[in-house]
Amino acid sequence: MVVAEAFVLVLALLLAIVRGLPGRSAAPLRWLAIAYTDLFRGTPLLLVLFVVQGFATLNYAGLSSGTLFRNGVIALVLVYTAYVTEVYRAGIESVHPSQWMAARSLGLSYAQALRYVVLPQAIRRVVPPLLNDFIGLQKDTVLVTVIGLTEAIAQANFYSSDYLNFTGLTVTAVFFIFLTIPLARFTDHIIKERERRERAQTV
C-alpha cells in the first residue's frame, strides 16, 4: 500500500497537469491522459490484477512471474492513479481563474504560475478526498491475494483450512478496521480544520 501510494501521488499529479495543458499542440497528450483515466477507472481492479499477472507469467514487457509484490503494486498504481488524477484535476480547476490571470500578469510563465500559485492551493483542497481514496487503496490491497501474494487474508484462509477455525478471518477483519479508522478520523480532522480556517477568513 505504501509503495503504491507513493507512485500514485506523483503519477496522478503529472497526469492531472497534462490534462490541463493549454493549446492545440498539447491536445494529443490531453487525449492520452483522458483515455488512460477512462480506461482504468472503468476497469475492475481484480481484472487488472489478472492481466498484469498474465503478462508476468508470459514474461512480457520484462515482467517475471516470481515478483508478485511488484505485480500487485503495478496493478494498484494503474487503477488508483486514474482515480487520483481526477481528484487532482478537480482541485486544480477549483482554483479561480483570476489566480491564473494575476500570476501571468506578474510575468510568471504557465509552469511558474502552476507551480507557485495554483498547485499549492489545489493540493490543500484535495487532501481529504485523497485520504479517502487511500483508505480504499488500503482495503483493496487484499485483492492482491488472488494472484498468489501471501498476506493477511491468505494467512487467515490457511489457518481456517488447517484448523477448521474461522477466528483468523475475524481477526483479519478487525486488523483492517484498526488500520482504516485512524485514517478516516484523520480525514475528518483535516476537513474540520479547513472549514475552521475558511470561516475565520470570512469573518
Output phi, psi for 165, to 5 deg: -135, 120
- The whole-number pLDDT of residue 149 equals 42
Query: Quick one: 133 and 202 in the same domain?
Result: no
- Residues 137, 62, single domain; the answer is yes
- Boundary of a domain, candidates 92, 118, 143: 143
Claim to verify: residue 122 and residue 164 sit in the same structural domain: no
Are residue 117 and residue 102 in the same domain, yes or no?
yes
Q: Tens-digit pLDDT profile for the chain (203 aa)?
A: 888 999 999 999 999 999 888 888 888 999 999 899 888 888 888 888 877 877 776 665 555 545 667 888 888 999 999 999 989 998 888 888 888 888 888 888 888 888 888 998 888 888 888 888 888 888 787 777 665 544 555 556 665 565 555 565 566 666 666 666 676 676 666 667 766 766 666 55
pTM score, whole prediction: 0.71
Considering the domain architecture, whether residues 24 and 70 belong to the same structural domain is answered as yes
Residue 160 structural domain: 150-203
Write down which residue in 125, 143, 161 finishes a domain. 143
At which of 143, 171, 186 does a domain end?
143
According to the model, what pLDDT value does residue 94 have?
A: 87
Do 194 and 115 fall into the same domain? no
Number of domains, the chain: 2
135, 154: one domain: no
Q: What is the CATH number of the domain that holds 114?
A: 1.10.3720.10
The contacts of residue 77 (CB under 8 Å, 6+ apart) are 4, 7, 8, 11
Amino acid, res. 93: E
Q: What is the pLDDT of residue 138?
A: 80
- Please tell me whether residues 83 and 181 are part of one structural domain: no
- pLDDT value of position 81: 94
Quick check: 12 and 88 in contact, CB under 8 A?
Answer: yes
Is 194 found in the same domain as 99? no
Residues 115 and 182 in one domain: no
Write the CB contacts of 151 (distance below 8 Å, at least 6 apart in sequence).
Answer: 141, 142, 144, 145
